[in-house]
Amino acid sequence: MLYSEFLAGTGCRDNDYNHKIYKQLELIYMNDESTTKADIYEYGKKLVDNSKPAELIQLEKEIKADIENSQNQITELKKDIARFKSYIETETDPAWRRLWKHDIDWRKSDIKRLKQHIAGCKFILN
């Protein structure tokens, strides 16, 4: 039985601890003719460590904070848009109306960019 087969059969992560478990179970497999690969995989599933490394946990925490920050920025941009729309409704000077429309378009493009950023972050998390 190969280590790659063990990884696939147990669905475990490739790390030093799991490799050690593989080596121990491989000895049983090689020395006991009645033990099948399926048996070894079942034993392995109970013994392997599939916990996330501390670095990955920290990275996921940072990505989630980034998503929350981006969502807060979107909320603020939407408030700006609503405020600028009210300015347009009350403004009589066409130059100011164009300025507010330009600012609205700018914030909409920022919202679109932030939503794409959030989607990318969520893709990484999954």
Contact 6, 14 (CB under 8 A): no
Exposed, middle or buried, 102 (CB in 10 Å: 0-12/13-18/19+)? exposed
pLDDT in tens, 49-96: 888 888 889 999 999 999 999 999 999 999 999 999 999 999 999 999
pTM of the model: 0.67
Q: What angle do CA 82, 84, 89 make, to 5 degrees?
A: 95
Please say whether the beta carbons of 49 and 17 come within 8 A.
yes
pLDDT at 27: 94
Confidence of residue 126 (pLDDT cuts 50, 70, 90): confident
Say what the pLDDT of residue 52 is.
85
For residue 73, the model assigns a pLDDT of 98
Q: How many CB atoms lie within 10 A of CB 23?
A: 11
pLDDT tens track for 18-41: 999 999 999 999 999 999 999 999
Residue 97 carries which side chain, given as an amino acid letter?
Answer: R
Residues 6+ apart with CB under 8 A from 40: 1, 6, 9, 25, 26, 28, 29
